[in-house]
Chain A
Amino acid sequence: MDARPAIAADNIHVAFPRAEVLRGASLAMPRGAVVGLTGASGSGKSTFAAAMLGLVRPPGRITGGKVMLGDEDLLALTGSRLREIRGSKISLIVQNPRAALHPMRTIARQIGAVSSAHERAAPKNADALRRQAVDLLELVGVNDAARRADAFAHELSGGMAQRALIAMALAAKPEILIADEPTSGLDVTVAAQFLDMMAATVKDRGVSMLLVTQEAGVLATYCDFVAEMADGRVGPLQETTTYFKQGASRPRRKPPPAAEDAEILVRVDGLRKQFVTRGATLTAVNDVSLAIRAGETLGLVGESGSGKTTVGRCIVALETPTSGEVSFAGEPLSALKAPDLRRLRAKVQFVRQDPFDSFNPRWTIGRSLAEPFRIHLGSGGEEAAAKARDLLKEVGCDADSADARPRALSAGVLQRANIARAMATAPEFVVLDEPTSALAPSARGDIIALLARLQQTRGTAFLFISHDLTTIAAACHRIAVMYLGEIVEFGTREQIFETPAHPYTKALIAAHLSDDPGERERHAARLRLEGEIPSPIDLPPGCVLASRCPYAENRCAKEHPQLDAFADGRRVRCLRAEDINAQHETIPTPSNATEAQPHVD
């Protein structure tokens, strides 16, 4: 085997009119390995992945560097030779699979076009090309490949479209595959199946893969090496175990304990939120009731589209509930007039997911941070500026970052500033909406530690919203699990993680990819959900999970379960909660399990 790297990017620079996104990024990919490329949002991961093929989003430009593939510099090539290499030697899989497929051609035609463009040996007639496409679709685990091959992009689910895309990428038998967050649009349980398939196919064909991801679990489970990007540069290539052993920045396993008898600060009762879109009514949140105690962290976990963010937004009165009530310290929010509501904002705060989008792009961080002091404490200009600097120091930022504009700062620093702004008026309660998902896995632990420290010193209560079980486990005392707008299970951290009672919680925990590379073998899934999430526009009359649940009986499709008290004090929304948890050991396998279990013990 060739000892040279499969592909080597050397000192790549990419400049956009207002910023240099890559400043000398280099990476040599070992042959036949899966390299995980991670880093905070805005660190240049996607730009780097595209630059490996000599591509860049306009108005950006590649201003320097080399990408050596064998003896050829990809960036120096033009025209037909470059097109020949793209696709036949190196392929790209992008984030949004449905947008990447041609909307007006069948899947088979698109796959056929790739192979006939790149392979001399490719069959010349349409039928043979189609047969080859069907084979490829079967290879990537598409059920009923012959029928799917004649489908159009809009007829496929997200997971299916992503598989079609990888089939297309493999059509010309590339040596190198670059996948840019291939699972970011997929639901957790589908993502795990897809990644298993992709990892197996790549190993099977001896392809070298660059996998861009922000999920610690994906890095730990599927990658041989990890490189972290920061500031437009790629860090050293580390073995996955080494990367995760540098425990300093790894999330703590457990939050510091909170007082269990504290009074209830926030109460949510029968919250329901509907959105009307083009005549159809979408129920985003249905019958959600929660109680958050002073000084504790309540985790709200669920997949994208489960309604968890809407719950958070209703609690901080950024959204008006359709019905139900949110009360803070015994006072219902719906009774408040606009000026009173603005005063309440000092006590109830909100931290958004994307730190880059959370600050006025034209203002310095200091000016944004001075706003709460100006509004709620009546501080004058200089006083507010001084307080903003103190606050930045308290959250572990350089006080000089007050003079920077958002674009000049990293996601980590910006998210600290974001938290600092929320803490400015010493609120009693803060809603944190995915506060760590924009950060590199290595930076998440620091943010969770910061939140724990703030909670200890100030006694603030948090509602921590996340789809990531690792951060939820590290940050929360009690956890509510949401599925399709409803809370399906609500219990303590230990109850949820150690003995999940609701079938959905069980599946979620089973699909969870641990961020410990040592636990790879244990990932072999125990419970798999079938099919896709139903549309929230016409929800089934019975249990919303019934169509995917392996425990479902006839009555599950008719009767809507309530969030009832379970034996050990938690609450579970399942008609069969008692009987399915009586005999833990026997978990039925999905009847038509097409996904072979990929990890052999």
Chain B
Amino acid sequence: MSVAVHDAPAAGDGLLKIGAIIVGLMTFLAIFGPVIAPYDPTAATDTVSTPPPPLIDWPRLFIAQFDPEIPAPHWFGVDAAGLDVFSRTISAPRTDLLIALTATAFSFVIGVTLGALAGFFRHWSTELLMRASDILQSFPVFISAMILVALAGRSGVNIVLAMTLLYSPIFIRLTRAEVMSLRNRGFVEAARATGVSERNIVFRYVLPNALGPAAAQASVTIGFAILLTAGLSFVGAGVRPPTPEWGLMIANGASQIVLGDWWPSLFPGAAISITVFGFASLGHALERRYGR
């Protein structure tokens, strides 16, 4: 127990709460966003390039909403194509979160399985796997994803596949390291001395104990995956317009910023920041609590 001692830090719980609230909110929007959106996120309204109402008017406008006769205000304004920015911003999680969650889930399952095998059995094939992971991880994720999607075609499925390929090595490496340290732990040896078979040792003793760090990493990876999804759309290698998607919205709004129209880009940009921060905070808090 020769671990260094420090004065007690008090962070952690706050991070966990903030992260959980943001993740909860985004999950809610991913499910109900398009339903509660006041306007159709893909259909033009009767105005274009309208700024959002001044903040001071928001309480009044909000109360007025209880009267069904009064049309919904454009909370975040209207973009150059006449689309309601608020409706698109809250509908986007269904695209961004779905892609990010699916890609992370695939990476997690593939990475944890391969990582456990690579950590437990030393074999030329597992060595090959690790070198392949090295190669994948040595390229910038964004560039690789862009090229892969450009080659395979712009679609949600291809984005998920590209991200799975690029994010799996993280989980392989994490799980492998964890399994390698667990492999020499006393309870694994005790199981072996009891006569438990190697297969049972891997799946009943080692793997369940190795999941902690990978699970914490998953939350962080979801955040990065959201950023990547938006980034790909921003450079035109992501989902096609007019799908409500944050990166796409920023890209469309970017050309208007020089004209002074800040709102079509600001709100989706803020949404990305908050979401990535939320998932990363949750991940770090979980890692601190359950990881190493």
Identify 17 residue pairs between A and B in the complex whose beta-carbon atoms are under 8 Å apart, listed by A's number.
A17-B12, A17-B288, A55-B6, A55-B7, A57-B5, A57-B6, A58-B6, A61-B10, A94-B2, A99-B2, A345-B195, A349-B194, A361-B187, A362-B208, A375-B195, A376-B195, A418-B190
Do A352 and B190 form a contact, CB below 8 Å, given A50-B5, A343-B195, A361-B209? yes
Q: Indicate if A285 sits at the interface (CB-CB under 8 A).
A: no
Are B8's CB and A345's CB within 8 A?
Answer: no
Q: Tally chain B residues at the interface, Cβ within 8 Å.
A: 28
A371 vs B200: C-alpha distance in the bound complex, in angstroms?
11
- List 20 additional A-B contacts (Cβ < 8 Å) besides A60-B8, A342-B195, A354-B186: A46-B1, A56-B5, A57-B5, A59-B12, A59-B288, A94-B2, A95-B1, A318-B189, A318-B193, A345-B194, A346-B195, A349-B194, A352-B186, A352-B189, A357-B186, A357-B187, A360-B191, A362-B209, A371-B191, A371-B194
Pick from A54, A60, A359: contact of B187, CB under 8 Å: A359
Which chain A residue lies CB-closest to B189? A318
Pick from A59, A95, A359: contact of B190, CB under 8 Å: A359
A368 vs B2: C-alpha distance in the bound complex, in angstroms?
29
Q: Indicate if A502 sits at the interface (CB-CB under 8 A).
A: no
Pick from B3, B4, B10, B209: contact of A360, CB under 8 Å: B209
Within 8 A of A (CB), among B176-234: 185-187, 189-197, 205, 208-209
Q: Indicate if A372 sits at the interface (CB-CB under 8 A).
A: yes
Are A59's CB and B9's CB within 8 A?
Answer: yes
A55 vs B3: C-alpha distance in the bound complex, in angstroms?
12
Pick from A57, A61, A368, A376: contact of B4, CB under 8 Å: A57
Within 8 A of B (CB), among A318-333: 318
Q: B8, B205, B208, B209: which has the most chain A beta carbons within 10 Å?
A: B8
Q: Indicate if B289 sits at the interface (CB-CB under 8 A).
A: yes
Binding site for B on A (CB under 8 A): 17, 46, 50, 54-62, 94-96, 99, 316, 318, 342-343, 345-346, 349-350, 352, 354, 357-362, 368, 371-372, 375-376, 418, 421
- Chain B residues within 8 Å of A57, by CB: 3-6
Which chain B residue lies CB-closest to A376? B195
Chain A proximity of B22: nearest CB distance (Å): 22
Within 8 A of A (CB), among B1-32: 1-10, 12
- Chain B residues within 8 Å of A46, by CB: 1
Are A375's CB and B209's CB within 8 A?
Answer: no
A316 vs B288: C-alpha distance in the bound complex, in angstroms?
38
A354 vs B185: C-alpha distance in the bound complex, in angstroms?
10
Do A350 and B193 form a contact, CB below 8 Å, given A56-B8, A58-B6? yes
A362 vs B194: C-alpha distance in the bound complex, in angstroms?
18
Are B5's CB and A316's CB within 8 A?
Answer: no
Are A350's CB and B190's CB within 8 A?
Answer: yes
Are A375's CB and B5's CB within 8 A?
Answer: no
